[in-house]
Amino acid sequence: MLKESRDAKGKTAYLILDGTTYELPVIVGTENEHALDITKLRRETGYITFDPGYGNTGSCSSAITFVDGEKGILRYRGYPIEELAINGTFIETTYMLIFGELPTSTQRREFRELLCDQELLHEDLRHHFEGVPSNGHPMAILSAVINSLGCYYPDLLQIENEDEFLRAAAKIISKVRTIAAWSYRKAHGLPFMYPDPKLSYCRNFLHMMHSIPHRYFEPTDEQVRALSLFFLLHADHEQNCSCSTVRMVQSTEANLFASVSAGICALWGRLHGGANAGVIKMLEEIHDGDATIPDYLERVKRKEFRLMGFGHRIYKSFDPRAKILRQATHDMLESTGYDDPLLDIALELADAALSDDYFIERKLYPNVDFYSGIILRALGIPVDMFPVMFAIGRMPGWIAHWNETNTDGTTRIHRPRQIYMGESTRHYVPIEERK
């Protein structure tokens, strides 16, 4: 069911099947996207549609984020990503994505205080970290501990009102930093650093990652700003795979902790949130002389593997986040004097691909993951933590979408159909008669 969709006056789609003509209502979104409403198709025609990977299928209507892949447009609640990148912060953007409006100064202060109150983990949760091997992947820890939060807040497993939603959301947004930082500390045999309520969201995360007892890590303002920008640019991206996973899990009325945990697992894949780590691995191979850029691109064109950080299901032009990150990476390295040869290789590789017909014909451009890893390296984040950083940034989007589908009153459990291509009826054969 769609709300506030403008009728496409005078536009009707006709489907002619087996001599019968069916009318399909045309729905128009606020940015003039057009859709055929097929909600009655099977009931009226007996047919279903077939769209593996859902490249042509709208699973819902949403008012959170708009992406125009042809024009390289990304807006959170109508605000262009370029304006948010210059003027906004991650926490302000988090509030806006979840509640729909930029916060007033009072709302922002109260939101910050709420997050601050929620930053500690229940001490019993420390045992989760003791139970995993030091080489356990931090995404496995993150999804497990986020899901476990529900054990400590059973009253928030069935959210009945806005206050319960706000408390659950604040717990996840605030504690995800502590969980992420502690998974890093555990892996490196370092003592857990507790969050410091005097520090801002991003500064606190860097403190928990890099401070040691009696010696606080003091990030520069540029590093804090770069981390806030990194999280802001990853905060939402409409119906990407992990967001659709969160919405699908919510459609069963599963709780917020479980739904977000499922989103983390979907994000882990190397074609999604794992790509930023794949980009660094690729750039290091080229830097270490294991491959030259022309060789690498030739192997991609022979389809031996894909160029990580390139291509996108929606963007068939530059990912606006990649443009912003390319400039921010350059500025940060310049201002901090941190010299990373991988940036020069990334720029050279992008130029080579963008002038190669193979990539031009397939409309393959750098996506959000192509430059993001270099910023993370400059912040002292190890590669296996890169998808975790993506997950921290994407929390507000997942939570906003969970709330949208949980409150819109028309959500049906997601249950796609299929075209069966297996065996027709056959009968049981006793084992002694099997050949």
Q: Looking at 128, 225, 287, 313, which residue binds ligand SDX (CB under 6 A)?
A: 313
Q: Is 401 in the site for ligand SDX (CB under 6 A)?
A: no
- Nearer to ligand SDX by C-beta: 145 or 275? 275
Site of tokens 């087996």? 18
Binding-site size, ligand SDX (CB under 6 A): 20
DSSP secondary structure string for all residues of 27-84: EE-TT--EEE--TTHHHHHS-----GGGTT------SSEEEETTTTEEEETTEEHHHH
Q: Is the dihedral of CA 240, 244, 246, 247 positive or negative?
A: positive
Q: Looking at 128, 225, 272, 330, which residue binds ligand SDX (CB under 6 A)?
A: 272
Q: How far is the CB of 269 from ligand SDX (least distance, A)?
A: 8
Q: Looking at 125, 180, 256, 308, which residue binds ligand SDX (CB under 6 A)?
A: 308
Binders of ligand SDX among residues 275 to 294 (CB under 6 A) are 275
- 8 Å CB contact between 303 and 430: no
Binders of ligand SDX among residues 314 to 333 (CB under 6 A) are 314
Residues 6+ apart with CB under 8 A from 32: none
Q: What share of the chain is helix, strand, coil (3-state, %, to 5)?
A: 55, 10, 40
Q: Is 271 in the site for ligand SDX (CB under 6 A)?
A: yes
- 8 Å CB contact between 5 and 26: no
Binders of ligand SDX among residues 349 to 388 (CB under 6 A) are 362, 364, 367-369
Q: How far is the CB of 61 from ligand SDX (least distance, A)?
A: 17
Active-site residue (options: 312, 319, 340, 401): 312
Of 101-109, 164-172, 311-319, 399-407: span binding ligand SDX (CB under 6 A): 311-319
Please, which residues bridge with residue 410 across strands?
none
207 is catalytic: no
Please, which residues bridge with residue 212 across strands?
215
Of 15-23, 128-136, 290-298, 312-320: span binding ligand SDX (CB under 6 A): 312-320
Beta sheet of 73-76, edge-to-edge order = 65-68, 73-76, 79-80
- Nearer to ligand SDX by C-beta: 186 or 377? 377
Task: Tell me how far apart the alpha carbons of residues 289 and 416 are, in angstroms, rounded to a whole number.
Answer: 47
Instruction: Name the strand (E) or helix (H) holding 74.
Output: strand 73-76
369 is catalytic: yes
| Residue with smallest beta-carbon separation from ligand SDX | 311
Binding site for ligand SDX (CB under 6 A): 237, 240, 271-272, 275, 300, 306-314, 362, 364, 367-369
